[in-house]
Amino acid sequence: MFVSENLAVNGQGHLTIGGADTVELARQYGTPLYVMDEQLIRTNLRRFRDSMQKYYDGKGYVHYAGKAFTCLEMCRVVASEGVGLDAVSIGELYTAVKAGFPMEEVGFHGNNKTDEELRYAIEVGVGHIIVDNLSELRRLEKIAAELIACPNIMFRIKPGIDAHTHQFIMTGQIDSKFGFALETGEAFDAVKEALSCENVRLIGLHCHIGSQIFDIEPFEAAAKVMLELMAKIKNELGYEISALNLGGGFGIKYLNEHDPAPFEVYAERVSAVVKEKCSDLGLTMPDVYIEPGRAIAAPAGITLYTVGARKEIPGIRTYVSVDGGMADDPRYILYQSEYEAVVANKAGEERSERVTIAGKCCESGDLIGEDMPLQHAESGDILAVLATGAYNYSMSSNYNRLQKPAVVFVNEGESRVVVNRQSLDDLISNDV
């Protein structure tokens, strides 16, 4: 009935998530409120972990992309499921350190890491650093020498794959700010340079071809291209790369008509390509990493709002305004992303009208969505926007000095706060 498997309607006609009544959660914790189902997060983590282990014969590893959603408790949950982490800034690394995350299971990403970030990553002992460009390689070599360290590195490669997704979240093509280009020989030359470095150890090649991808073909194509580069390195430089990182980007169901391939099918098909290609090219099967973010966090989360003003503009549209907006969910204003929404206290009723759901920020583009089917929403109703567990809290801002909402985890009907709502004093805490 709903886009996520953990949502249902209870006897009172209220939407439930992970067995908890969303209308009760809104009353107890206030709105706007992010609610995440811990059990579904864990189920998703295990699905990825187990399929990678199975299809890559014990050599498949998952690093959860923390940028989708992270906080101390999320790091603890990820660690407890035996899944690693991808971090992209000193802030994400610091969060993992403070959560007691096993740092050797962390990969450090970013297209423009600062010296401070590189130094910190080495000091806290990350498992590997994914190097994006030559200037970073040279700075890292210097910093590692100063620290008398030899970090493992991977190279981020642009494999030249078009993943049929929104252009702002397409990253594998040559005109991208991320990584080394393949076609121009830039990637190969960089590998040569890395092999002459004394203070870094090149262990892997990485690619990430985009996000919210439904098809398996682009992933298969990327795997082939990457393995061909590994073969070229082996044949021409006599060096065998031991890890292949295929990135994230697995699509999820935001709308009922979305039909992403189940991850198990992805793992089965891509691993078959990897194995066949390795044997054709005479390569030893590498360790294979993937980095799902959205597919783990998004389906597990919803956002609850209280409905305020309703404006019917005859012959044009009806606006239903809520007590949050682009400050807690900037995905519409960034990508015109689509969501399913439900009036949580009328979840058993028909979605009888189509409305534009608007936020409370001072931007006309501050919408949750347009032309959304919805139950008749009135002031005081609780609105649930579904599948908001990724790239909502993590992309939230204090625009208009709105306070960031709390994040609540539910687990089999029980709930607990994992991130407090910002207070008014939090808003001015750095002001001088």
Ligand X SMILES: *Cc1c(COP(=O)(O)O)cnc(C)c1O
Cβ distance to ligand X smaller for residue 213 or 357: 213
**248 part of the interface to ligand X, by CB under 6 A:** yes
Q: Which of 68, 87, 355, 386 is in the footprint of ligand X by CB under 6 A?
A: 68
Distance CA 426, CA 432 (A): 13
Which position among 65, 191, 342, 374 is part of the footprint of ligand X (CB under 6 A)?
A: 65
Which CB atom, from 109 or from 224, has the smaller least distance to ligand X? 109
291 contacts ligand X (rule: CB under 6 A):
yes
Please count the residues of this chain forming the interface with ligand X, following the rule CB under 6 A: 17
**Alpha carbon separation from 128 to 21, 112, 150, 212 (Å, rounded):** 42, 16, 10, 25
Q: Which of 247, 260, 330, 359 binds ligand X (CB under 6 A)?
A: 247
Using the rule CB under 6 A, is 208 a contact of ligand X?
yes
C-alpha dist (Å) from residue 139 to 116, 149, 200: 11, 13, 11
Which residues are catalytic, by number? Answer: 362
Q: Does 369 bind ligand X (CB under 6 A)?
A: no
By CB under 6 A, is residue 14 in contact with ligand X? no
Q: Between 62 and 343, name the residue whose CB sits nearer to ligand X.
A: 62
Only segment of 63-71, 142-150, 214-222, 300-308 that touches ligand X (CB under 6 A): 63-71
Considering beta carbons, is residue 157 or 342 the nearer one to ligand X?
A: 157
Q: Does 128 bind ligand X (CB under 6 A)?
A: no
| 3-class DSSP assignment, residue 430 | coil
Distances (CA, A) of 287 to 7, 206, 244, 245, 246: 36, 12, 6, 8, 11
Contact 347, 2 (CB under 8 A): no
Q: Which of 17, 26, 244, 295: binder of ligand X (CB under 6 A)? A: 295
81: left (phi over 0), alpha (psi -120 to 50) or beta: alpha
- Please answer whether residues 262 and 220 qualify as being in contact, where contact means their C-beta atoms are separated by less than 8 angstroms: no
343 binds ligand X (CB under 6 A): no
From candidates 179, 292, 301, 405, binder to ligand X by CB under 6 A: 292
Does 84 bind ligand X (CB under 6 A)? Our answer is no
Going by C-alpha positions, the residue among 344, 402, 397, 333 that lies closest to residue 370 is 333
Check residue 249 for interaction with ligand X (CB under 6 A): yes
Q: Could you please report the per-residue DSSP string of 310-348? A: EEEETTTEEEEEES--TTT-THHHHH-----EEEGGGTT
Q: Which stretch binds ligand X (CB under 6 A): 241-249, 327-335, 344-352, 392-400?
A: 241-249
Q: Contacting ligand X (CB under 6 A), which of 29, 250, 254, 305?
A: 250
The whole-angstrom separation of Cα 306 and Cα 253 is 24
For the chain, the residue count is: 432
Task: Report the alpha-carbon distance of residue 216 to residue 172 in Å, rounded.
Answer: 15
User: Which parts of this chain interact with ligand X (CB under 6 A)?
Assistant: 65, 67-68, 86, 109, 208, 211, 247-250, 291-295, 390
